[in-house]
Structure 1
């Protein structure tokens, strides 16, 4: 899965200096995606395991999402100048992960970021602040519930391992079987 405009791919090896890829446990992605799209967990789990998974952004535009593993594997093949950040690590230790990202970026362009700016970044991007910005209308990623026409909040809980409380054993098993290779590689299982 790649990004492009008018047959010009702008995420290939020739014109991409580096990739910072944020990955999240697919069991938690399932919950987040279901809440964001106002779909049932069962329907969402089928979608995220299907390579031809699409969303309709409007009546005339279809956006191919692919499966969780398709997306992950399509980016990890860019093995030169590739930084993988796990969502779970970012939640657990933001400062460490931000410093890791800044160190990676410094391989390509020299930037100087003070401790104060790093701390400001951490403080302004807390889950609570982002949710508050959304409530004030400063976040455009909100989807619209097709049934009710109401906006669906993008920010719900912002926690790791929600799947342990929300998913049934059958759904967990399906996800772990379907994405076993990638989940082991990422140490999710």
Structure 2
């Protein structure tokens, strides 16, 4: 089946790493260029340029509600042109347009890989990413219905995105997605990326081999990606972050968060954390 495989997650949960690893495995385990390999702006669900190109319109002339209503149509048109499934990254919650139509339609979907990470680690990583305090980020992660990339003075490169809270984002894809998702935990990626890639590639029907997966794991080792960023920079790193590929460790929250910060995250997201085995 052709269509789009959505690589979905809340921010700073391992989405970019997974995208690079899958792209490498698909090509036999070749080395990656983080600024080219695995796709650019056009393989991000909220790409304004891609939306305008596919629908042959100027999104600057539309309201946010009109854009949201047209998203599903844009994805269906993309899916019709694909000979093989495409890997598209998204941090958006799996929500609906103003008329109740899912913005990620089943008819355009070849699969869903949803990546989750302990929200306590997400808070630490996201604070570094946005250049904010951990307390501010904890509040942001609990913000129900949170929207990103709202237009202010200049028109953002990405369309307005309904991110939701961390819990809302997770539950939207696990419970109301366009198909049964393959759920991947970031901690398992750190523990045994080869096993994760085997499960994911089999689940989405991507032809590959044990040798290709092994090579892809080496090509996208966190130290390799971080060294590339240090040498050449990374186009997806925001100006607020010193680096995109920071440390990548699991469990670092134990040294970085105060007891009060841990308690607030667990209070905000305890139900979903327990569901995923984080509590």
TM-score bucket (shorter structure): 0.7 to 0.9
CA distance in 1, matches of 2:255, 2:178: 35
CA distance in 2, matches of 1:188, 1:128: 26
Q: Secondary structure at the match of 1:51?
A: coil
Give 1:174 deviation, angstroms: 0.9
Please show how residues 1-189 of structure 1 align to structure 2 within 5 Å: 5=51, 6=67, 7-9=70-72, 10=75, 11-56=104-149, 59-61=154-156, 63-76=161-174, 77-78=176-177, 80-106=179-205, 111=207, 113-137=208-232, 139-145=234-240, 152-189=242-279
Q: Secondary structure at the match of 1:143?
A: coil
Q: Secondary structure at the match of 2:106?
A: coil
Preserved CA contact (<8 Å) 1:37 1:152: no
Give 1:78 deviation, angstroms: 2.2
Task: Decide whether aligned partners of structure 1 residues 143 and 73 sit closer, same or farther in structure 2, where only a CA change above 3 A counts.
Answer: same
Is there any run of 5+ residues in structure 1 with no aligned partner, and where? 146-150
Runs of 4+ in 1 over 6 A off after TM superposition: none
Q: Deviations over 1:137-184 (max 9, x none)?
A: 252111113xxxxx6211111100111111111111111111111101
Preserved CA contact (<8 Å) 1:21 1:84: yes
Task: Decide whether aligned partners of structure 1 residues 118 and 57 sit closer, same or farther in structure 2, where only a CA change above 3 A counts.
Answer: farther
Q: Secondary structure at the match of 2:114?
A: strand
Q: Could you state the TM-score of these two structures normalised by the residue count of structure 2?
A: 0.59
Aligned partner of 2:4 in structure 1 is none
Q: Could you state the TM-score of these two structures normalised by the residue count of structure 1?
A: 0.85
Give 1:136 deviation, angstroms: 2.4
Give 1:82 deviation, angstroms: 1.3
Q: Deviations over 1:56-80 (max 9, x none)?
A: 4873335443211121112112273
CA distance in 1, matches of 2:142, 2:253: 16
CA distance in 1, matches of 2:192, 2:210: 15
Task: Decide whether aligned partners of structure 1 residues 57 and 37 sit closer, same or farther in structure 2, where only a CA change above 3 A counts.
Answer: farther
Q: Which has the higher helix share?
A: 2
Q: Deviations over 1:64-106 (max 9, x none)?
A: 4321112111211227331000000111011111111111022
Q: Which has the higher strand share?
A: 1
